[in-house]
Amino acid sequence: MASFFLEFAAEQRLQLPLLVTPETCSGKTYIVTGANTGLGYETSKHLVNCRAKKVIMAVRNLEAGETAKAEIESATNNRGIAEVWSLDLSSFDSVKSFAKRVNSQLDRIDAVIENASVAHDRWSTVEGYEASTTINILSTFLLAVLVLPKLTEVAKRYGNLPHLTIVTSGVAFTAKEAMDRIRDNPLAGMNDPTTTDMNKRYPLTKLFQHYAGRHLATLVPVSKTGVVVNLVNPGLCKTKLSRNSKFSRWLEIYITNLLVGRSQEMGSRPLLHASMAGAESHGRYVSSCEIKEHQVPEWVKGEEGRKLGERIWNDIAVELEKIEPGCLDRVLRH
């Protein structure tokens, strides 16, 4: 653990490369969730600045999204690129409506950057699950499986290499003890307020993303779909993610950010890199604009970790089929 934190601190101070250019973005369409603030905002701003064909800013609050769009257009002097679309990950119906719009209205997609997440330390439920479980896990993977067939179709039609990039976190690897408490019945355990400490909830949801995302990647290999699925860690960034945390937790994050926190703009660079990384990043952990599989603990990527990842994915898949019957069959038959 000590080596993890030493490497974390060293990486946080890196000046990361900005790999997107007008040449790399020309003619391309991107979807960024949680795009009106933080990393999603900065990611969208870079893509608009590089004159992508289209940038879909997926947001829960349309008014806030339009304000963010206007700020980006003013800063970049590029108009007619960004579009604000409604997406509320606390509502399965909203996710389905968004995906339906994506599938029917966009002729090309080059990357879907699933950035939107929440960090709650108080128990509440939406859609029958604890809120951060619904948003960070179920809705995140619901959107993934609903757009994957479209990404495969696009890859075959245009010969491009679309990306589905899930924005996770290195803090996930601090949640082993929390996962061990529920590993016999992971998703149900997330819905039991007596089994997990809410202060560990955000890292635990991110650990679920790692397990499930890695297993999903094995089900949809690039050789079959033409789509890269990867997981990116933006590092610790000075965003508003902890705004709903208790004061003691907020203060801890605030002080750490003062010492080693990245700016929101610097934190957007790993997202941009992951959205254009090569096929070798499929199913891999990407951090600081590099594939960093050596940072993934053996208990995640080893044999036992792969078995747990399959169990977690299967739990999620059961729920996704309830939400949208047939959605997994449409993904796996491509």
User: Catalytic residue numbers?
Assistant: 202, 206
The token pair at 207 is 């650990």
Interatomic CA distance for residues 294 and 298, integer angstroms = 9
CB atoms within 10 A of CB 3: 8
Interatomic CA distance for residues 104 and 153, integer angstroms = 12
The token pair at 174 is 């601090």
The token pair at 151 is 């990404």
Residues in Cβ contact with 217 at an 8 Å cutoff, skipping those fewer than 6 apart: 229, 230, 282, 283
Which strand ranges, in their side-by-side order, compose the sheet holding 290-291? 82-86, 54-59, 29-33, 111-114, 163-167, 228-233, 285-287, 290-291
CA of 137: how far to CAs of 92, 118, 269, in Å? 12, 11, 23
Residues in Cβ contact with 183 at an 8 Å cutoff, skipping those fewer than 6 apart: 189, 308
